[in-house]
Amino acid sequence: MAVVADILIVGCVALFLHWCFDIYKKNKRLAHIPGPPPIPFFGVKLPMNSFAIHTFFGNLIAKYGKTVKFYLGTKLVVATCDADLIQAILQNPKHIRKSSMYDLYRLFLRDGLVVSYGEKWKARRTLTNPTFHVSILKEFYTVFKEASDVLVGKLQEEADKGNVINAMDFASKLSLDTILETSFGEKLNIQQGSNHYYIKATNYLAKLLFIKNFSLWKRFDLPFKLFAKEYKEQEEALEHLDSMAIEIIKKKRKKNVNSDDGSERIRNKRSILIDALIEHPELSDDDIHEEVNNFLFAGHETTSTTISFLLLELAAHPDIQEKLYQEILYHTQGDKKNLSVETLQKITYLDQVVKESLRLRTTASVIERKITEDVKFGDTVYPSGTIFSILLYWLHNHPSYYTDPEKFDPDRFIPENQAKRHPFAFVPFSAGPRNCIGQKYATLQVKTVIARIIYEFKLLPVEGFKLVLGIAGVTLSKHGFPIRIQKRN
């Protein structure tokens, strides 16, 4: 027993010395970048819940400045909200690999567009880019408008009852309906039913995976399977998500029959994404499955979050809401039938309002990249393996880029004010080669929904509501998105 104890002691000392040497080498290169002192073996102590981690990043920036270094074990993390450094990272086509934080999402996103990299990512991006081209947005607008009409009907029922509603409950169903119809040709009318199993499953997994990412043992498959009480719920949620993708592919293959004369089938723009995937000769059913999962997840969660935060802000700012309403009335000539893609493009104040909400309540608070070779940015050489945590929320709320950043002020986005800012001081959809593939799609959907709601209703705040933000894939609101609605006269 004494020999075993001696071996363990020697092993621990050796590991400690290795850890110290590794940290020393990295610190020597980056001695000028401040950060919290590392705890042996652990690095920095991270909070274990979504809301505390949001506070953690905010405290780091407040204490150490725009760029901070810390360690997760021996992994070097450089967290930054510096627009110059963010530009250098995001614009460089070499730095498209995401960090290990995204590996947990492979449980259901597998090796799809959101998490893949290298040649596979480039091939999938090339294949799917045309399915979100601006030329088909008018076709998508029809779907957005129809879904918004259904939403208005649902909200009218709540207004008649005088209820306080959680905007996310409605936005989530709407966004799932629209992504299913525009990308996969599936009209499921989820808004007409109860809380859909897919929404429940994605919400649960997003929160669970965030917890696993910052747990010392839950992030590893074997101990999680053996000891975690959440394992059963995780598997049930994954089964729900996979069943949706499998059903979409089955239905599409059944419908996907060539015309009688043997000519090439004309593609339906409302199923252009699934068509592109199924018709690609090199994609297996598993390949198609992973991309269906990726677009369903990314397309519904981000948009519903954006809509919910925007409704919350408009309810809290009646002067801005009234100005937007008057702009909508002016451009539609008081007739909602005149709302169109062209009309929405003319309502410049709507564009400003959407951008200001994306700035103040950035949908994706943090994105990450991992560099795979030594890279020089400015005067600093960052070692291979460095993880860059790009703090978009804190970039968009930093006083060096935005005066009085906590104020909701759409005038920040009039052309002359935008021209004064750093070009990378506002990147809600990321930027560079790995920017959001669906940003024009999402923006049009958000504008369509907001314009219809504001045309029909006044949004009112809920007394006593306190906004507490968190992070779990997208930015969270701890107490939901409560608003009251009132039919306009």
Spatial separation of the C-alpha atoms in residues 20 and 387, rounded to whole Å: 19
Pairing of strands 164-166, 380-382: unpaired
Spatial separation of the C-alpha atoms in residues 440 and 425, rounded to whole Å: 19
Token couple for 33 = 């970048």
Please report, as a single letter, which amino acid is at residue 206. A
CA dihedral in degrees (310, 311, 317, 319; nearest 10)? 100
Find the helix or strand (DSSP H, E) in which 477 lies: strand 474-477
Q: How many CB atoms lie within 10 A of CB 266?
A: 7
> Shortest CA distance to 155 belongs to which of 143, 142, 171, 141?
171
> Shortest CA distance to 385 belongs to which of 77, 89, 119?
77
Q: How many CB atoms lie within 10 A of CB 117?
A: 17
Spatial separation of the C-alpha atoms in residues 354 and 366, rounded to whole Å: 19
> Shortest CA distance to 488 belongs to which of 152, 201, 221, 210?
152
Spatial separation of the C-alpha atoms in residues 46 and 116, rounded to whole Å: 26
Q: What are the backbone dihedrals phi and psi of residue 435, each rounded to the nearest 5 degrees, phi first?
A: -70, 170
Residue located via tokens 């004309």: 266
Find the helix or strand (DSSP H, E) in which 25 lies: helix 2-29
Spatial separation of the C-alpha atoms in residues 131 and 440, rounded to whole Å: 12
Cα three-residue angle 214-394-58, rounded to 5 degrees:
55
Find the helix or strand (DSSP H, E) in which 447 lies: helix 439-456
Q: Is 12 annotated as a binding residue?
A: no
Q: How many CB atoms lie within 10 A of CB 401?
A: 20
Q: 331 and 342 in contact (C-beta within 8 Å)?
A: no
Token couple for 113 = 């567009």
Spatial separation of the C-alpha atoms in residues 480 and 203, rounded to whole Å: 13
Q: 309 and 178 in contact (C-beta within 8 Å)?
A: no
Spatial separation of the C-alpha atoms in residues 376 and 157, rounded to whole Å: 58
Name the binding residues: 436
Name the binding residues for heme: 436
